[in-house]
Structure 1
Amino acid sequence: MKDSENPAFQKIHQIADEMKSIKTKGRLLEFIAEILMKYDRYSLAVISARARDEVECLPEPYRTKLLPYAKEWFFGRYHRILLNYRRGDFKKNCSLISDPETFEKYCEMIPKACFDEKKEGHRFVDKEKKPLYDLFYYLLCAYAMFVEEEPGHPPGTPFPGGFEVTQNSEGYFCPIRDKEEDIFYSVCNFCPAKQDENNI
């Protein structure tokens, strides 16, 4: 099946185009939440299985260290988005997205990432539905990076070698921030964290 024949193709392009036009954090929260609420229980179960499987294939002791952050990365953010939406927080947040240029580039990247055939497939996902599952991930990261202005990887997330995402009075710092530039679809290229100078 060609990408253009996939029912998700037009939907994801439309979502990315609409999201790109958003100017405020409150509206972005509202927009993302309303899309996420359209994912049914089956889709959420598949997405959860994907996330769990990606962690379980990692070697110990790194796997155990990463697990709680992987849970926060996906479903901690998912539940926080829906909670904030149901409380009406988006109505109170009229702050402008602080880095609109990076945000627009992120939105332009999403459809390309969701339909990139070179990206590794997954045993839980059929080809037709995979782009929508990938979209879920990119929406969660959009909320974290452009609404909460947090790193794509939650603070404390460990990486091989003993490094982790940290936070101090000067902001967030990540050991791989500037090491993912060759990976076009990596959220690290759009992340508000700075490169950790202790791991250059």
Structure 2
Amino acid sequence: MPDAADRIHAAVPRLAACQTRGELGEAIAEELKRYSLFDLQVIGGGMKKEVDPLPEPYRSRARPYFEEQLFGAYHRAMKAYRSGSFRGMDEAIPDRERFERFVALVPDGCLKKEPETDFGLGGALNTLFYYLVTGYAMFVEGGPGHPVGTPFPGGFAVERRGKRYLCPIRDKEEDVPFSICNVCPAEQMEGV
């Protein structure tokens, strides 16, 4: 059985080779289907452990969006995979340069042993899950990494205005090298 590093180093070039949204959706879903129910429970427990210390009322407002970010995207990807929806998605992956930056950050984001690389999910493969579902949301669905409505401290939230996504923290994560914010299609919200 391959270890986490082998699995990650096999998955990343496969994702990078994808040219269309459908190819990428299928590749992501094939990686996601390798996670067992137990793995998903561990990831959910890690998320809970990260969210529980947040102060109220922020914790109660944010929790459903963090759950949606991980498990909503997971379920949408698996549903599309099982229904064959990816076969009809022959449009090129949007913003190839941004996609390539995303794929390049995944190996170190999963495998480096630094505080900002684990996201509290409990290990390299669980961090890979995080990148897979956010990559799905951004590059297959064309949305932001954090779901629309995700609240952030200060009373601001991710918004959609027409075809644009606005985020209150988009440009504030530049110092965190493995943050999805650095490759997210959302724009920085003005005045925040």
Normalising by structure 1, we get a TM-score of: 0.91
Match of 1:168 among 147, 161, 172: 161
Higher gyration radius (CA): 1
Amino acid at match of 1:15: A
What is the aligned-residue RMSD (CA, Å)? Answer: 1.6
The structural deviation recorded for 1:119 is 2.2
- Asked whether 1:145 is paired with 2:141, we answer no
- Asked whether 1:198 is paired with 2:176, we answer no
Q: Percent identity?
A: 45
SS at 1:173 equivalent: strand
- Asked whether 1:10 is paired with 2:6, we answer yes
Residues 10-19 or 113-122, more deviating: 113-122
Amino acid at match of 1:184: P
In 1: Cα distance, 2:183 partner to 2:111 partner: 19
Match of 1:85 among 63, 81, 104: 81
The structural deviation recorded for 1:198 is 2.6
Amino acid at match of 1:83: K
In 2: Cα distance, 1:194 partner to 1:122 partner: 22
- Asked whether 1:182 is paired with 2:175, we answer yes
The structural deviation recorded for 1:124 is 7.5
SS at 1:167 equivalent: strand
In 1: Cα distance, 2:67 partner to 2:49 partner: 12
Q: What corresponds to 1:97 in structure 2? A: 93
The structural deviation recorded for 1:16 is 0.6
In 2: Cα distance, 1:115 partner to 1:62 partner: 30
- Residues 117-132 of structure 1 aligned to structure 2 (within 5 Å): 117-119=113-115, 125=122, 130-132=123-125
In 1: Cα distance, 2:12 partner to 2:188 partner: 28
After superposition, give the CA deviation of every residue in 1:129-149 in whole Å (9 maximum; x if it has no partner).
x11110000000100010111
In 2: Cα distance, 1:117 partner to 1:173 partner: 31
In 2: Cα distance, 1:136 partner to 1:170 partner: 27
Amino acid at match of 2:62: L
Q: Which runs of 4+ in 1 moved over 2 A?
A: 119-125
The structural deviation recorded for 1:98 is 1.3
Question: What 5-or-longer segments of structure 1 have no aligned partner?
Answer: 1-5
Question: What 5-or-longer segments of structure 2 have no aligned partner?
Answer: none
